[in-house]
């Protein structure tokens, strides 16, 4: 990683403003239902506190659409963070207003303050320079530790770095080392497992990975667009007809590059998109016209498991079937299990795959589970992430 991190700068006695990703799920009563994103930010926060910085934290929560909405207040986040750290977290009543300025001015070394939801201002998502400058005026150093929003050019992720020395926090450092290391210098064989419903969401990822991987395993709803490109009947399965020629081209490209692109040999088909619908497993050559495929079949699971177990690096993005429905979760479960048992590096891209491994109880057995859905996808596509690009180079 060629970006400066916290370790490369002096923070003692300085006001340090940190962009975290505290966009946590809440229930209707305002209780946090999953605090993993808060927990992920703790190494950076502890380091700053232990090194005598005055720490100002900021994040978005939900989609308040540029207006103050008490439902999306950061108060529950501040409370939970205080419990996890075992110390007081001051919560400002605003973002760049009188209360935030007053409280930031009174902070002592080692103290923590959390600003209100930055998305209470539409200027945040507009990346308004004057709003970014106001945020920057409260501090002397900017730390970005929000990988989940690093693909967005917002005022608190990209704009602020134009006004302050900007470095990466430990979470972003870990994400870049894990994802970047897998792409740049993978231990081989290197396998990518891609799922999800649409080929169109993954075109750039597939194209980018075909230059890097040894094996590319395709599952999820997108497999049917590839099967149709092979001339097979796909029944009522989800197919992007306009992407069928492209799927054919990608298979050709894989063959030319010596990449083993592995499509399912069987699928679990159902009469309807319902957990309790009549369902059974069929070879992909025999999908009935009035049925839809909702998971990879048993033989495919065995093939995928075997390839994953022999790999030294595995990157996975996208579920193998409709894992939210128990009858169609087996493919995703088996891939998660295979990755957990893999002796090599197992890296899970964020989003649905991360949710699946958490839900299935395999997260702590992976080498790395990314905190960024869209960000990890764009990183795998080889795109520059604005929130990273703007940080100082080493």
Catalytic member of 351, 372, 373, 387: 351
Q: At what angle do helices 75-85 and 42-50 cross, to 10 degrees?
A: 70
Catalytic member of 14, 15, 19, 37: 37
Report DSSP letters for 83-130, one per residue.
HHHTS--EE-SSSSSHHHHHHHHH--TT-EEEPPPGGGSHHHHTT-HH
Number of Cα atoms under 13 Å in the Cβ half of residue 210: 20
User: How far apart, in whole angstroms, are the C-alpha atoms of residue 134 and residue 156?
Assistant: 10
From the list 281, 182, 197, the residue with the least C-alpha distance to 239 is 197
From the list 385, 331, 388, 329, the residue with the least C-alpha distance to 167 is 388
Is 383 a known active-site residue?
A: no
Q: Could you give the angle at the alpha carbon of 70 between the alpha carbons of 65 and 74, nearest 5°? A: 90
Is 37 a known active-site residue?
A: yes
Q: Could you give the angle at the alpha carbon of 258 between the alpha carbons of 253 and 260, nearest 5°? A: 90
Going by their DSSP bridges, the two strands 260-262 and 141-144 should be labelled as unpaired
Catalytic member of 198, 299, 305, 365: 198
User: How far apart, in whole angstroms, are the C-alpha atoms of residue 174 and residue 6?
Assistant: 13
Is 198 a known active-site residue?
A: yes
H or E segment to which residue 266 belongs:
strand 266-270
Residue 349 buriedness (CB in 10 A; 0-12 / 13-18 / 19+):
buried
Catalytic member of 82, 248, 374, 382: 374
By three-state DSSP, how is residue 393 classified? strand
- Active site positions, annotated: 37, 198, 351, 374
């Amino acid at each position: 990683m060629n970006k400066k991190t916290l370790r490369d700068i002096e923070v003692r006695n300085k006001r340090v403003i940190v962009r975290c990703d505290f966009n946590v799920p809440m229930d209707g009563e305002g209780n946090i239902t999953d605090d993993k994103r808060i927990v992920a930010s703790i190494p950076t926060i502890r380091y700053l506190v232990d090194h005598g910085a005055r720490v100002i934290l900021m994040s978005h929560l939900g989609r308040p659409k540029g207006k103050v909405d008490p439902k999306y207040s950061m108060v529950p986040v501040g409370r939970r963070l205080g419990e996890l750290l075992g110390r007081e977290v001051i919560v400002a009543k605003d973002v760049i207003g009188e209360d935030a300025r007053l409280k930031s001015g009174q902070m002592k070394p080692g103290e923590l303050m959390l600003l209100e939801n930055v998305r209470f201002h539409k200027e945040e998502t507009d990346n308004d320079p004057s709003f970014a400058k106001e945020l920057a005026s409260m501090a002397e150093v900017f730390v970005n530790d929000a990988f989940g929003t690093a693909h967005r050019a917002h005022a608190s992720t990209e704009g602020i770095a134009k006004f302050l020395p900007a470095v990466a926090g430990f979470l972003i450092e870990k994400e870049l080392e894990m994802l970047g290391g897998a792409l740049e210098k993978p231990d081989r064989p290197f396998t990518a497992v891609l799922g999800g419903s649409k080929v169109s969401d993954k075109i750039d990822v597939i194209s980018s990975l075909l230059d890097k991987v040894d094996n590319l395993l395709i599952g999820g709803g997108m497999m049917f667009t590839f099967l149709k490109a092979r001339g097979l009947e796909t029944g009522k399965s989800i197919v992007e007809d306009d992407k069928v020629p492209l799927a054919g081209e990608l298979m050709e490209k894989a063959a030319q590059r010596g990449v083993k692109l592995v499509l399912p040999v069987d699928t679990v088909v159902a009469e309807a998109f319902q957990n309790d619908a009549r369902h059974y497993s069929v070879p992909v050559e025999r999908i009935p016209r009035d049925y839809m495929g909702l998971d990879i079949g048993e033989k495919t699971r065995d093939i995928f498991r075997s390839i994953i177990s022999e790999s030294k690096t595995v990157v996975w993005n996208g579920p193998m079937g409709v894992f939210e429905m128990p009858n169609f979760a087996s493919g995703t479960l088996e891939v998660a299990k295979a990755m957990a048992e893999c002796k090599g590096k197992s890296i899970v891209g964020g989003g649905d795959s991360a949710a699946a491994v958490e839900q299935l109880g395999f997260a702590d057995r992976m080498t790395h589970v990314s905190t960024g859905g869209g960000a990890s996808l764009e990183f795998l596509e080889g795109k520059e992430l604005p929130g990273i690009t703007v940080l100082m180079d080493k």
